[in-house]
Structure 1
């Protein structure tokens, strides 16, 4: 019987302490990152896809009879737009809460499926869900998840990742709107 090779030595990864992180941030600020043409196109496309997704989410919010559901969707629209635009730092690491960094806690929370799709409890026995079709629910969660991932892309290393996330975001919005390959699909 063949046996598995013995495991190799374990290497512990040390995370930088606060002082080292601050020094890294200062070094990063001293040398601005220069985007190349491909990265500029990827950033512009991501921002436009985010704006289109935010418009769609605002349309969904406008259909809600329940204020709480409408507000949750409006918050998500704002977070999608920020996460796919200003939060993507050229050459950055998408650090949460920093100016130009990944979305802060409020924006990240607005993108969570439970916040978007969860019920509003009126009484112990009465609750409502947002007025969305099954397809809209799925595509809304997909769009928010994709937008939330965009600030973690590091241009200069992963422009292809940003391009892929953007394409998927565009597809989720088309699907949510009921548009597939140029044909309008009737939703139930």
Structure 2
């Protein structure tokens, strides 16, 4: 092995003998820009796409609702049958014992105009009606057996899914209407078959 005369000995390498250099800031604005909550941005986008905590009448024509509306109705080539999209539901909305089912149990009627108001089961308080702009004291409907409100029910909890290597998913249920027609060979008019 040939020694390089320009290279110093390995003793003392990596050890700082002087103090660290002082950083100088030449920026004009002293405050830095605040980083947005990137998880919340993704969560809001996900909620806007799925609209899973809304009943079908409350859903906008965006996201998954828009996807189904753009695909349906589907007709066969002879035009004797059609498939029409009606609604979808994501997940099983039940109380803890399973006696109370359905997302409609998290809705109440406005005392002034009678329209549906979304009820938060974890913080029952006065809720503003978007239709008539009056405040309503609403409480969620509780199960008569377990005393719990309706919530999204999972088959397994999050920790159990991680331990077993399973996905933490919920079912997507789509309601589709099949209509079968009879064509009159003489006039060519279609009538719905019973």
Q: TM-score, normalised by structure 1?
A: 0.20
Greater helix share, structure number: 1
Greater strand share, structure number: 2
The higher relative CO (CA closer than 8 Å, separation ≥ 6) is in 1
Instruction: Kindly name which structure, 1 or 2, has the bigger radius of gyration based on alpha carbons.
Output: 2
